[in-house]
Amino acid sequence: MKMKGFFLPVLLVSLSALAQAQAAAPKPPVPKSDAQKAFEQLKTLAGTWDAKVSVTPPMPDMDTGKPSQVTLRVTSRGNALVHEMSEIDAPADPTKYDHPVTMLYLDSDKLTLIHYCDAGNRPRMTARASEDGKTVEFDFVDISGSTKYGHMHHAVFTLVDANHHMEDWTYMMPGDKPIHAHFDLKRADVVTGTK
């Protein structure tokens, strides 16, 4: 009987130590989803970018020769990416000049984009990444606000290298007439000796 009384506390201490060791043991990393990988890749674009813009079909009222800039900024403890477009020479008055803002974030297992458009609406799109991880394409899901003046309908980010990427945005005019804007972006916040 004395042996039983001795082994029970030893057994309980041993089981407790084993449970603590298992709890403290490092767990293998959970593989990242495609959405997480795409979001991590897009966050590498944080910075300021000079943009050459071309529009198809050509729009007489859009001077694509004006220098444009895109700024991307990681915010909210890494949970969101802010994307802002502007003309370089335009006054910093977003109430009078185009200055659309786009927010990118993970929503469960989806990479989501909401574009706060100068047309007064907010289209929402979700991403699909390419096999090589260099292209992230956003497809239209739904929209809040009026579509009287049209709405942003599609976006594609193509990463060329650390200092060069492209963006393709499709705007749907009233009557479902698409306008495609292609942005060829070079990192502006890199000292290269030449511009």
What pLDDT, on a 0 to 100 scale, did the predictor assign at position 32? 87
C-alpha 156/C-alpha 167 separation (Å) is 6
What pLDDT, on a 0 to 100 scale, did the predictor assign at position 124? 98
Which of 54-58, 60-64, 99-103, 137-141 bottoms out in mean pLDDT, i.e. has the lowest? 60-64
Which of 5-19, 39-53, 99-113, 136-150 bottoms out in mean pLDDT, i.e. has the lowest? 5-19
The answer to whether the peptide bond before residue 28 is cis (omega within 30 degrees of 0) is no
All structural domains of the chain: 34-187 (2.40.128.20)
Strand partners, 53: 183
For 112-165, the pLDDT digits (tens) are 999 999 999 999 999 998 888 899 999 999 999 999 999 999 999 999 999 999
What pLDDT, on a 0 to 100 scale, did the predictor assign at position 129? 83
C-alpha 53/C-alpha 28 separation (Å) is 45
**Helices in the chain by DSSP H: which ranges?**
2-24, 34-43
The token pair that represents 170 in the structure block: 């499709």
Q: Residue 188 carries which DSSP code?
A: S
Q: Give the range with max mean pLDDT: 23-32, 64-73, 87-96, 184-193.
A: 64-73
The token pair that represents 128 in the structure block: 């699909």
pLDDT at 11 exceeding the cut of 80: no
Q: How confident is the model at residue 195 (pLDDT cuts 50, 70, 90)?
A: very low
Q: Of 19 and 117, which is predicted with more confidence?
A: 117
Q: How confident is the model at residue 29 (pLDDT cuts 50, 70, 90)?
A: confident
What pLDDT, on a 0 to 100 scale, did the predictor assign at position 194? 46
